[in-house]
Chain A
Amino acid sequence: METLTFQYPAGRPGRTRALVGCVGSGDLEVLLEPADEGQLTIQVITSVNGASHRWQQLFERMFNSQTPPALHIDIHDFGATPGVVRLRLEQGFEEVGHD
């Protein structure tokens, strides 16, 4: 088990908080909560050790093409593949964008 933290520039705060996913095999739980404007912080707790570079690449690829809302994100990962992680994050962003 490993705990990783990341910070990225962000836009306006998310409108609401949201929870997506589950700490089940090959899945992850993502808690998203509005944060101060301009700041996205992510804490990842993952069952897979030595994967910090992969998480970083995944986040950078996502946030290079879209400015994320200002949030604090907690990720509890149980061996999700990058594809699943991306889907869950997109799902979470969709939910915090709605009222």
Chain B
Amino acid sequence: MTDHARLLNHRTFTELGARERARALLDRGSFRELVDPFERLISPWLPGQGIVTQADDGVVIAKGTLEGEPAVIAAIEGAFQGGSMGEVGGAKIAAALELAAEDNRKGIPTRACLLLETGGVRLQEANLGLAAIAEIQAAIVDLRRYQAVVGVIAGPVGCFGGMSIAAGLCSHLIVTREARLGLNGPQVIEQEAGIEEFDSRDRPFIWSLTGGEQRHATGLADAYVADDLEAVRNEVLRCMAGGPVEQTRSRRHAQYLARLATLGTPCPLLTAADVRDLYKENDQ
């Protein structure tokens, strides 16, 4: 039997745009956007390449409160240019995180949450996008000393490229079933490895390896939640309440490298279950 009441009361998170996501997570009425779209801080690089710009460059920076505590949310709009990180959007996120760290040094306990929906660097902006991603990563590492930095990958775009490294640097990473997390996207892997090894059109296969459920099962994500606004919000609040994380995933890199080294070269083709086994041992 279909549970109509549950379906009618359910509020999706993945179907919301970046601005609505940020607004929905922050305490009611506390949303205040920094460098809002009417300031028209657009990409200076896209028009010259014949690409229509978006007034916020696909990034929403929202200040507000979470359970009464000061917070900043950086939300990426996955529908604009695949959520790609250009010079402007990247600088907005990096600056928001740097200001949050500065706040903490001044005694203001600003927390940060990143809503990651991105294919990685915007190829049209090349090195400037990459530089911005590096700044974001440095800012996460700085801020996570004071507060838990929470990343959320809700889908449908997922989180790839340099921004997947940024996701890995977060104190906590929250995913849904719709989420994907990977350094390279499926088409890039197919192009490099060959379609026999990796078929980018085989969606169940892609999600079995890089989907949210698998990433959670292998410990590369900390929380696996339903596509439900309340569930996502509660998990973000729970993660933030715990304060800064001492043993972040990126600090445990030696364990991961040692485990990967056991695979040898050439590496055998692993199934989703093989990968879970490999990482399970890693946790011990």
Interface presence of A45 (CB below 8 A): yes
Between-chain CB contacts (< 8 Å), 5 pairs: A19-B37, A19-B38, A27-B79, A31-B37, A74-B55
Instruction: Contacts A17-B38, A31-B38 given; indicate if A1 touches B51 (C-beta within 8 A).
Output: yes
Q: How far is the CA of A74 from the CA of B39 in the complex (A)?
A: 13
Encoded as 1 (CB less than 8 Å from any B CB) or 0, chain A from 1 to 45 comes to 100000000000000010100111101010101000000000001
Give chain B residues whose Cβ lies under 8 Å from the Cβ of A29: 37, 54-55
A residues at B contact (CB < 8 Å): 1, 17, 19, 22-25, 27, 29, 31, 33, 45-47, 74, 76-78
CB contacts under 8 Å to A, within B1-37, are 17, 19, 37
Q: Are A23 and B53 in contact (CB under 8 A)?
A: yes
Other 19 A-B pairs with CB < 8 A, given A22-B79, A23-B58, A47-B50? A1-B47, A1-B52, A19-B37, A19-B38, A22-B77, A22-B80, A23-B54, A23-B79, A24-B77, A24-B80, A31-B37, A31-B38, A46-B52, A47-B51, A74-B55, A76-B52, A76-B54, A77-B52, A78-B52
Residue of B nearest to A78 (CB): B52
Closest beta carbon of chain A to B116's beta carbon, Å: 17
Q: Are B38 and A23 in contact (CB under 8 A)?
A: no
Chain B at the A interface: mostly helix, strand, loop or mixed? loop
Give chain A residues whose Cβ lies under 8 Å from the Cβ of B19: 19
Give chain B residues whose Cβ lies under 8 Å from the Cβ of A25: 79
Interface core residue of B47, B51, B52 (most chain A CB under 10 Å) = B52
Could you tell me how many residues of chain B have their Cβ less than 8 Å away from some Cβ of chain A?
16
Q: How far is the CA of A76 from the CA of B37 in the complex (A)?
A: 12
Give chain B residues whose Cβ lies under 8 Å from the Cβ of A23: 52-54, 58, 79-81
Give chain B residues whose Cβ lies under 8 Å from the Cβ of A77: 52
Q: Are B38 and A22 in contact (CB under 8 A)?
A: no
Q: How far is the CA of A75 from the CA of B33 in the complex (A)?
A: 21
Give chain A residues whose Cβ lies under 8 Å from the Cβ of B54: 22-23, 29, 76
Q: Are A47 and B52 in contact (CB under 8 A)?
A: yes
Give chain A residues whose Cβ lies under 8 Å from the Cβ of B81: 23
Closest beta carbon of chain A to B201's beta carbon, Å: 19
Closest beta carbon of chain B to A12's beta carbon, Å: 21
Closest beta carbon of chain B to A46's beta carbon, Å: 7
Residue of A nearest to B49 (CB): A1
Residue of A nearest to B42 (CB): A76
Q: How far is the CA of A17 from the CA of B52 in the complex (A)?
A: 22
Q: Are B55 and A76 in contact (CB under 8 A)?
A: yes
Give chain B residues whose Cβ lies under 8 Å from the Cβ of A24: 77, 79-80
Closest beta carbon of chain B to A49's beta carbon, Å: 9
Instruction: Contacts A1-B47, A17-B38 given; indicate if A31 touches B55 (C-beta within 8 A).
Output: yes
Closest beta carbon of chain B to A29's beta carbon, Å: 6
Give chain B residues whose Cβ lies under 8 Å from the Cβ of A1: 47, 50-52
Q: How far is the CA of A99 from the CA of B54 in the complex (A)?
A: 25
Closest beta carbon of chain A to B15's beta carbon, Å: 13
Encoded as 1 (CB less than 8 Å from any A CB) or 0, chain B from 33 to 77 comes to 000011000000001001111110010000000000000000001
Q: How far is the CA of A77 from the CA of B19 in the complex (A)?
A: 19
